[in-house]
Amino acid sequence: MKRIALDMDEVLADIYAKFKFYFERDLGWKPKWEDYAGGKIYELEGAKHIRDYLYADGFFADVTVMPNSQKVVKELVEHYDIYIVTSAMEFRNSLADKYDWLNAHFPFIHWKKYVMCGDKSIIQADYMIDDHVRNLKTFDGKGLLYTASHNVNNEDYTRVNNWMEVRAFFEKELAKDGIKL
């Protein structure tokens, strides 16, 4: 079985849904995608403190699940050895929150397949789905870049804009071996 290393933040977990909530609460207006595309929402004027919420106990506990991710990952688990590989180490308080979140929303992935790390260059897999170019750069396998505002200008990787596109990519991969997803 080929191995997929699946990123969590901005791939399975919709971190920006929370950022946008805090942004509107603290700054009093609702930025549009175009306002921060090419960068991060907290790079907008007066929003620098928004990133600091990541350090809070509980931030990662109630993040919204990315649309269709549960359904598609559940299908992929039948054909691939799926690991959740998340850069969690900058945020000490995120560890238990992320553990509980994965357990609650992706119960069909065993805890043996969770990897909380810092630098992902130590990860060995056939595919990696990630929103950070830096993680795909040090990866030896096939990297899929999951669209996020900060990566819209990158053209070095196969881009996936949502989970239905992830599904379509692996549907084609499996079809090469005569397997139907």
Q: Among all residues, which ones are annotated catalytic? A: 7, 9
Kindly tell me which of 112 and 176 has the beta carbon lying closer to a copy of itself.
112
Is 152 in contact with 146 (CB distance < 8 Å)?
no
Burial group, residue 1, by CB count within 10 angstroms (0-12, 13-18, 19+):
exposed
Kindly tell me which of 3 and 105 has the beta carbon lying closer to a copy of itself.
3
Q: How far is the CB of 79 from a copy of itself (least distance, A)?
A: 18
- Distance (Å, whole) CA 36 – CA 46: 13
Kindly tell me which of 47 and 82 has the beta carbon lying closer to a copy of itself.
82
Is 97 in contact with 57 (CB distance < 8 Å)?
yes
In this structure, what is the dihedral angle of CA atoms 67, 73, 74, 77, given to the nearest 10 degrees? 180
Q: How far is the CB of 131 from a copy of itself (least distance, A)?
A: 18
Q: How far is the CB of 105 from a copy of itself (least distance, A)?
A: 15
Residues that bind a copy of itself (CB under 8 A): 3, 5, 83, 85, 88-90, 92-93, 95-96, 99-100, 110-119, 122-125, 140
